[in-house]
Amino acid sequence: QVTLKESGPGILQPSQTLSLTCSFSGFLLSASSVGVGWIRQPSGKGLEWLATIGWEDVKHYNPSLKSRLTISKDTSNNQVFLKITSVDTADTGTYYCAHSAPYWYFDFWGPGTMVTVSS
């Protein structure tokens, strides 16, 4: 059974660095064609893909935020991390991590963690 759960700071101030953790079970990130992605959603708005890390440490980033994003993994502890530097109010929203199947679609999602950027 594949499960994922996001964790984060809840609230942070503008210009700080947002650190998110995705803890998962039910699959191995070292397995071929497997990945974990991060997707965010401002309140009342649509989905925005941020980054995906794959089985051979292959990384894909959304170019619109690439300079601010770092995705990494701890395979032995079944965790994936996302850091976003220099946050501002536009980074407020719900952040999801999701299991990425072959062909890079997302078949299992975590419940999401809400992040608010406010001074």
Partner 1 sequence: DIVLTQSPVLAVSLGQRATISCRASQSVSISSINLMHWYQQKPGQQPKLLIYRASNLASGIPARFSGSGSGTDFTLTIDPVQADDIAAYYCQQSRESPFTFGSGTKLEIK
Residue of the chain from 47, 83, 86, 88 that contacts partner 1 (CB under 8 A)? 47
Amino acid at 80: V
* 34 vs 101 by CB, closer to partner 1: 101
83: left (phi over 0), alpha (psi -120 to 50) or beta: beta
Q: How many CB atoms lie within 10 A of CB 12?
A: 19
Identify residues 52-111 at the interface with partner 1 (CB under 8 A).
52, 60-64, 96, 101, 103-111
Could you give the CA distance from residue 60 to residue 50 in angstroms, rounded to a whole number? 8
Nearest to 102 by CA among 51, 52, 35, 11: 35
* 28 vs 105 by CB, closer to partner 1: 105
Residue of the chain from 34, 48, 68, 92 that contacts partner 1 (CB under 8 A)? 48
Q: Rule CB under 8 A: which residues touch partner 1?
A: 37, 39, 46-49, 52, 60-64, 96, 101, 103-112
